Amino acid sequence: MASSHGIWIALFLISVMTRDIGVFGRAVDKLGFLLQSQRSAEESSGLTLRTDALRRWRRGVAETQLERCAELVAPWLENTHAPQDNATLLQLRVRPFAPGASRGPVFPGKSLFSFVRRVYHCCQEGVNCKSVKGIQGRLRGGTDVEFLITREILLLTVTRAELHLQLSNPQHLDIYPVLSSLAKRDIPTRYSLRSHGNTVELRVDLLFLFQSLQEAAGGAGRGPSLENMRRVMFSSRRHPPGEKPASEALQDTDADVWGDGVASTPPALELGLALGCSQATSGVSCGSGGVHLSHTPFMALYYR
C-alpha cells in the first residue's frame, strides 16, 4: 500500500511539473513572439525611415541638378556702372592659333572639365541640351589672360559665348564686371553670378566679341574687315584704364591665310575687364577685400 501510495504521489508531482513546464513554455513562446513582433516593427520602422531619407536625398539631388541646369540659360544681369578707380583690372587677349606657333592651345583645367561635365549631365536629363566648346585660358602674369582661337571655332554658329571666372571672395563682397570698351559707349556689361561659400562663379557675356571676330575674319565668304572691327570694338578715341589703343590692340595679319571659308587670320584683340566690388552699397577695393582669381579663366561657346 505504501509503495502504491508513493507511486501515485510521484505521478501527481510529475503531472503538476509537466503542466507547469507547459505553461512556462507557452509563456516563453508568447514572449518570444512579442519580442520578435516588436523587433520586426522596429526594423520595418527603421527601413521606412531610411527609405524616406533616401527618397528625400534623391529629390534634393534632382532639384539641385535642375537648378544647376537652369543656370546654363539664366537671363543676364546688366551692369551700367563705369569702372571704379580702385577696380581690379584683367587684360583679356584673344589671338588666332596658327600651326607651328611656339605656344599652342592649353590643356583644359579642372574648372572647364567640371563645366562641360555639367552640360553633358543636363543633356542626359533632357534639360537645356546644347552643343558646347570650351577654350582654356593661359595666365600671362597675374592679371593677363590669353585665349587661342582656331579657325574651326570661327566657323561655328555661336549662339552664346561666356567668359568664366572663379573668384575667391572671403568677405562676401558684391562683385560686378565692367568691359571697358562697352562702358565708354554706354553699353551695359552682361553677366551672371553664382556664390557658394567663399567662392564666386562669374560669367561675362562675350557673344559680341565672337561675332566681331567672325566678321573681321571674313566669315561666310566675306573678305577681312579690320577697319570694321575697330569701329565695332573701339569707336571712341578715349581709352579706359587697362585698355590699349586700337592701333596696339588690333594687329593686321593678312599674310596668315587660314582658308576653308575664313579669308584670313583675324587680328589679335585685347579687352580690359574691370572688377568692381562693394559692401552694403559702398564701394570697396576688390584687392583689399581678398577677391582674386582662384582658377585660370576659360571661355564656353554654345553653338548650333
Render pLDDT for 186-232 as a digit per residue (tens, 0 to 9): 999 999 999 999 999 999 999 998 888 887 766 544 444 444 444 44
Measured at the CA of 133, the angle between CA 276 and CA 242, to 5 degrees, comes to 30
Give the tens place of pLDDT for each residue, 109-166.
Answer: 999 999 999 999 999 888 888 899 999 999 987 789 999 988 888 889 999 999 999 9
Short-list 96, 104, 132, 92, CA closest to 263: 96
Q: Are strands 144-149 and 138-140 parallel, antiparallel or unpaired?
A: antiparallel
Phi/psi of residue 51, nearest 5 degrees? -65, -45
Cα–Cα dist 286/88, whole Å: 6
Is 60 exceeded by the pLDDT of residue 4?
A: no
| Overall pTM surpassing 0.75 (yes/no) | no
> What is the rounded distance in angstroms from the CA atom of residue 177 to the CA atom of residue 163?
11
CA distance 208 to 229: 11
Cell numbers describing residue 93: 587677349
Per-residue pLDDT, 237: 34
Using CA atoms, how far apart are residues 78 and 81, in angstroms rounded to an integer? 9
Cα distance between residue 136 and residue 300, in whole Å: 9
> Which residue ranges make up each domain of the chain?
38-71, 77-303
Residues in contact with 104: Cβ distance below 8 Å, sequence separation at least 6, in sequence order: 97, 148
